[in-house]
Amino acid sequence: MTEEIRDEIARYGPIAFERFMELALYGAEGFYTRAHGGSAGRRGDFITSPEVGPLFGAVLARYLDAEWERIGRPREFTVVDAGAGPGTLARSVLAARPACGDVLRYVAVEVSEPQRLRHPDGVESTSTMPSDVFDGVVIANELLDNLPFRLAVFDQGWREAFVDVDAGGRFVEGLSAPLDPPPAYLPVPAQFGARAPLITRAAAFVDQARRLVRTGSVLAFDYGTPITAMLAGRPYRDWLRTYRGNARGEHYLRAVGDQDITIDVPIDQLPEPDAVRSQSQFLQRWGIDELVAEGKRIWDEQAARPGLEAMMMRSRVSEAEALLDPAGLGGFLVAEWRSEARPAAAKRGGVPTGKQELIELSDEVWQRLWDRFAGLTDDEYFWEPAPGCWTIRRRSDGVWISDGALPPPEPAPFTTIAWRLWHVIDLYGENRAPRWLDVPSQGDAIGLDDPDGSPPATAVDALALLERAHQRWDLHLALVSDEQLARPIGPVGGPYAERSRSGYVLHMLDEFIHHSAEIALLRDLWRWQHPIDQDPLVERTIRGDVGVLAEIRDHSDRSPSEFLQIAAAYSRWDTVAALVRDGVSPDTGGRTPLHSAAIVGALDIVQLLVDHGADIDARDPQFDATPLTWARFTDREQVAAWLEAHGAT
């Protein structure tokens, strides 16, 4: 089963790990494509959520109905099940009889011909994704972790892993020259031997799926982690795994073609999702608890003479336990990309008070906060912008504690990112949410309400704890009903007893928003007190040093036009003017300096650039917009009038 790989290495030399994985899983005799190849199920090589039982598909059917309603009940509603395997999910979704069933077109995409032969009636079975756009949903259940990826290894810099054959005929690993520059999501420096996946194919799949969906969503369930740096900090065997026969397999270079290869998917390398939740949060949001309660009721009614329906209803309890287990399937991440931006609260007619509106707003707040933590280092985490900051610190006995006082002094000390992040963790993870919302507490408290808890000593640990705390908040919000939200908090709220629970949720979202804004500002201050670019001449250009002009031509491998483009992007107009007057061509390609000047209304620079030969109708490749288009869009009336007078279109 390895001859195809060996032949390619013999012909072309060492192959990238990405190509090795592609052949091992999807080659002529690959794990998934050969006869009697890998499959999901209790008698297969691994168990995914649909194989636990039909409950997962029943919950997903509720989600599909909600999407069908959200996009206006189209006459044809397409569901693309990418990586459908033997069609287990399709069976359970169709068996749930969703409301959209009469207009449902279910497309099961599976590369394995033996698996496609097992697809149920009522679905379109195919080996490739559709080519035409549609209204509906793309589902990728445990697909992204199986798409071939490049493997980066840290050895005096990040290098790419390649696979070769040694003298004994065994597959061995070699490394490329250092990646220059390394991808931004790889931490630098890293521990010697650290590894991380580069999931360009998974990102490309999500892009393709999003382009296919005219209205609707893309939904991915998978092993996952929020940021790549977390994987780089863990032993690679924790997140780069092999499976066969429902058990962990051997090293990925052994038993090639006989075992699955899979990873934890780093979400930060994918297009930015509209929402990321744990699987347990997703399932609870879409009614798994109601389906389990229904199952218990039907079983109780028919227990004396149970039929098939009653037995299936009874199994929902054990299925739910497996699907919601935070240490197992419940801990999977669910990423969702919607084809339309969600309406803001103001467009909905006022302040949101309903459960769905509050959940959507909470998701937006969380995503904005989480995105601002990418690349957080320990140095930045503990940075004290002013003397005497409140922070977290280690006592002489080794225990980490947080500075603070109740009530705080006036004026309150300035605080570090570490202190603020611990405060946000506490807000998300405290016990107040279940008490004030009157819902069952989900797991133990995280933060100050945890008697054994202490502030995280590293940025990576803090982000991991923040994610757990947010999941707890999300679970509590998912459990509350619209009726409960409309009620007063009650005596448990003390002086806030008469306020509504929806008002409490809005208060908490305000807390998250203003603390995330403070953290974002600190991150910006930190970044701009350190070099933005490794090239000192680029750094000086970014910061508006006109004196860089004298050195650009003689001491840089970059073209002068690149420096002109950089200066314009940062609105360093004195530098732009000096470069143009020195003879640097204003036609830089891409978004030109003329585009940048038109956007901000810098009329004198617009005139200077055109006088020195700038293409007045150059098109911005990202938006296919001319300088005149941008001037009109940003209401720069003087610039627009001048460009029109000089022949711009």
Query: What one-character-per-residue DSSP string does 156-174 give?
Result: SSEEEEEEEE-TTS-EEEE
pLDDT, average across residues 217-231: 92
Backbone angles phi, psi at 635, to 5 degrees: 60, 40
pLDDT at 341 over 60: no
CA 487, 493, 495, 496 dihedral sign is negative
By the 10 Å C-beta count (0-12 exposed, 13-18 middle, 19+ buried), 231 is classed as buried
- State the pLDDT at residue 231: 92
pLDDT at 538 over 90: no
* Spatial contact of 266 and 196, defined as CB atoms under 8 Å apart: yes
Band of residue 41 on the pLDDT scale cut at 50, 70, 90: very low
Grouping H, G, I as helix, E, B as strand and the rest as coil, residue 316 is helix
CA–CA distance, 573 with 2 (Å, rounded to integer): 60
* Spatial contact of 247 and 182, defined as CB atoms under 8 Å apart: no
347-528 fold:
Four Helix Bundle (Hemerythrin (Met), subunit A) (1.20.120)
CA–CA distance, 277 with 474 (Å, rounded to integer): 8
pLDDT at 505 over 60: yes
H helices of 77-132, in order, are 88-95, 113-116
DSSP β-ladder status, 213-222 and 150-154: unpaired
pLDDT at 27 over 60: yes
Q: Token pair of 450, please?
A: 């945890």
Q: Token pair of 46, please?
A: 């691994």
- State the pLDDT at residue 483: 85
Number of CB atoms found within 10 A of residue 438's CB: 15
- State the pLDDT at residue 113: 87
List of residues 6+ apart from 121 with CB closer than 8 A = none
pLDDT at 351 over 70: no
How many residues in total does the chain contain? 649
pLDDT, average across residues 4-9: 93
Of 56-60, 71-75, 350-354, give the lowest mean pLDDT range.
Answer: 350-354
Backbone angles phi, psi at 611, to 5 degrees: -60, -25
Mean pLDDT of the chain, nearest integer? 89
pLDDT, average across residues 537-541: 88
Backbone angles phi, psi at 298, to 5 degrees: -65, -40
pLDDT, average across residues 322-345: 78
pLDDT, average across residues 366-373: 87
Q: What is the pLDDT of residues 439-489, one digit of tens each?
A: 888 888 999 999 888 999 999 999 999 999 998 998 888 888 888 899 999
- State the pLDDT at residue 296: 81
pLDDT, average across residues 394-401: 90
Helix 55-70 to helix 288-302 angle, to the nearest 10 degrees? 130
Domain positions in the chain: 49-141, 347-528, 536-645
pLDDT at 304 over 70: no
Band of residue 166 on the pLDDT scale cut at 50, 70, 90: very high
pLDDT at 261 over 90: yes
* Per-residue burial over 529-548, b = 16 or more CB atoms within 10 Å of its CB, e = otherwise: eeeeeebebbebbbeebbeb
Q: What is the signed CA dihedral for 10, 14, 19, 25, rounded to 10 degrees?
A: 60
- Whether omega for the bond prior to residue 434 falls within 30 degrees of 0, making it cis, is no
pLDDT at 72 over 70: yes
Which has the closest alpha carbon to 153: 173, 125, 132? Answer: 173
* Spatial contact of 451 and 425, defined as CB atoms under 8 Å apart: no
CA angle 76, 82, 84 (to 5 degrees): 105
* Spatial contact of 40 and 81, defined as CB atoms under 8 Å apart: no
Q: DSSP string spanning 579-616?
A: HHHTT--S--SSS-HHHHHHHHT-HHHHHHHHHTT--T
pLDDT at 600 over 50: yes
Alpha carbon distances (Å) from 488 to 302, 320, 352, 473 = 40, 32, 16, 19
| Amino acid identity for residue 232 in this structure | A
- State the pLDDT at residue 509: 94
Q: What is the pLDDT of residues 101-150, one digit of tens each?
A: 999 999 999 988 888 999 999 999 999 999 999 999 999 999 999 999 99
Q: What is the signed CA dihedral for 138, 140, 144, 147, rounded to 10 degrees?
A: -80
- State the pLDDT at residue 8: 93
> What region, left, alpha or beta, does residue 414 occupy, with left being phi > 0 and alpha being psi -120 to 50 degrees?
beta
CATH fourth-level superfamily of 49-141: Vaccinia Virus protein VP39 (3.40.50.150)
Kindly indicate whether the domain formed by 536-645 is annotated with CATH number 3.30.70.120.
Answer: no
Of 33-47, 99-113, 407-421, 429-443, give the lowest mean pLDDT range.
Answer: 33-47
pLDDT at 241 over 70: yes
DSSP assignment letter at 415: B
Residues forming beta bridges with residue 219, ordered by sequence position: 139, 336
pLDDT at 632 over 50: yes
Grouping H, G, I as helix, E, B as strand and the rest as coil, residue 91 is helix
| Amino acid identity for residue 520 in this structure | A
Of 208-212, 420-424, 536-540, 611-615, give the lowest mean pLDDT range.
Answer: 536-540
pLDDT at 348 over 60: no
- Whether omega for the bond prior to residue 411 falls within 30 degrees of 0, making it cis, is yes
> For residue 201, how many C-alpha atoms fall within 13 Å in the half-sphere facing its CB?
15
H helices of 250-307, in order, are 279-285, 288-302
- State the pLDDT at residue 346: 37
pLDDT, average across residues 23-45: 72
- State the pLDDT at residue 285: 86
pLDDT at 90 over 90: yes
DSSP β-ladder status, 171-175 and 104-109: unpaired
- State the pLDDT at residue 353: 60
